[in-house]
Amino acid sequence: MAHPGDVSALASLIDAGELRARDIVAFIGKTEGNGGVNDFTRGYFTQSLMALLARHTGEPAEALAARIPCVLSGGTEGVLSPHFVVFARHGDAPAQPVDTVNGSLAIGTAFTDPLPAEAVGRWAQVESVAAAVRAAMNDAGLTDPREIEFVQVKCPCITSARVQDAAARGQTVVTTDANRSMALSRAAGAFGIALALGELPASATDADLLADFAVACNRASVSSGVEVTCNEVIVLGNSTRWSGPLRIAHAPMRDALDLPAVGAALDRLGIAARPQVDDADRDRIAAVLVKCEPDRRGQIRGARHTMLDDTDINAQRHIRGAVGALVAGVMGDGRLFVSGGAEHQGPDGGGLVAVIAAGRA
């Protein structure tokens, strides 16, 4: 990507016949905005992408946007590089497992109905996301939650316009603060994933959102934005009913300095980092997905950090640049999806890393 309106690389692949536009089921990418409320690079890229697919599929851009999750994280701080990952699939699931040993990368997607503002950050959203995760698992033919390695959810938040709309219907919202609503929406998304994967403690309630950080899901990655009105879900796992060269593995990160976690995820794919992935293995890696956050307590391993008190640089920009570089150092590559806002997603103050890679030839 030369800029956020540049979809020429994908256009070339389609023109060359290496990829069929109709096989595309999801996008995950990084654009070079600030990653905040006023980051319009995500909208610009989505508009450019859907216009390209519309030309190739004949479907209207709006219809494409309503069925293909396009999860973009703004902010390519430091060594991070603007890029996007295209997920495509074709063929039907076989009646019998094709690979009884390991399985291959499986992907399923789902969209919920529009979520009204009064549901955001409350249990109704938890259940809505859980249902969508189950629907995406079904779409992928994944039946066992243990097969799932990574669930990406994109959730709506509460804007002033939505507050007024809710009020007009006699409803109240959990908060009128847009930033807090985004955090609560991410929290509810993480709880919803945990619920669908059978990990959520039965005792968990609304009150635990952004409160009890011991409740966390190591396979949940959630972003929230003004641009969506429903929950969009991408489920990634490994399944013996899928074929293809790719597999996925994740590992939790206990804090922002958890370098060993990156090696742990690679290890599960048979890739060594001593300390960096070598060139041959690097070619096998198709995508790296990272979720992270600046530690709420203002310290990392006992040393004070200054991310949360910085009036000049948003804390999420700080942490993406830092954890992104740590992971990029292991990969030897800055083309990583690194997203901030990891409430209840991985260990408190840390997050998670997932890698998609091809098997050794």
So which residues are the catalytic ones? 154, 223
Please give the residues from 133 up to 172 whose contact with its own copies meets the rule CB under 8 A: 160
Rounded to an integer, what distance in angstroms lies between the CA atom of residue 222 and that of residue 245?
Answer: 27
Contact in structure between 150 and 221 (CB atoms under 8 Å): yes
Q: Find the shortest distance in angstroms from Cβ 168 to its own copies.
A: 17
Cα gap 325→311, rounded to integer Å = 22
List, in sequence order, every beta strand (DSSP E) within 92-188.
104-114, 148-156
| Residues between 326 and 345 that touch its own copies (CB under 8 A) | 326, 328-330, 332-335
Check the annotation: does 296 bind a ligand.
no
Q: Give the nearest distance from C-beta 23 to its own copies in angstroms.
A: 26
Helix (H) or strand (E) holding 224: strand 220-225
Is residue 186 part of an annotated ligand binding site? yes
Could you say which of 60, 94, 201, 260 contacts its own copies (CB under 8 A)? 260
74 is in an annotated binding site: yes
Contact 125, 231 (CB under 8 A): yes
Residue 317 binds to its own copies (criterion: CB under 8 A): yes
Tokens linked to 121: 């950050």
Q: Does 98 bind its own copies (CB under 8 A)?
A: no
Please indicate if the annotation marks 8 as binding a ligand. Answer: no
Gap between the terminal Cα atoms of the chain: 29
Least separation, in Å, of the C-beta of 297 and its own copies?
Answer: 8
Check residue 78 for interaction with its own copies (CB under 8 A).
Answer: yes
Query: How many chain residues interact with its own copies (CB under 8 A)?
Result: 71
Do the Cβ atoms of 351 and 253 come closer than 8 Å? yes
Q: At what angle do helices 8-15 and 41-57 cross, to 10 degrees?
A: 20
CB of 58 to its own copies, least distance (A): 17
Query: Does 243 belong to an annotated binding site?
Result: no
Pair of tokens at residue 254? 């206990």
Task: Say whether residue 229 binds its own copies (CB under 8 A).
Answer: no
| Residues annotated within a binding site for Mg(2+) | 293, 342, 345-347, 350
| Residues annotated within a binding site for substrate | 42, 73-74, 186, 223-224, 320, 339-340
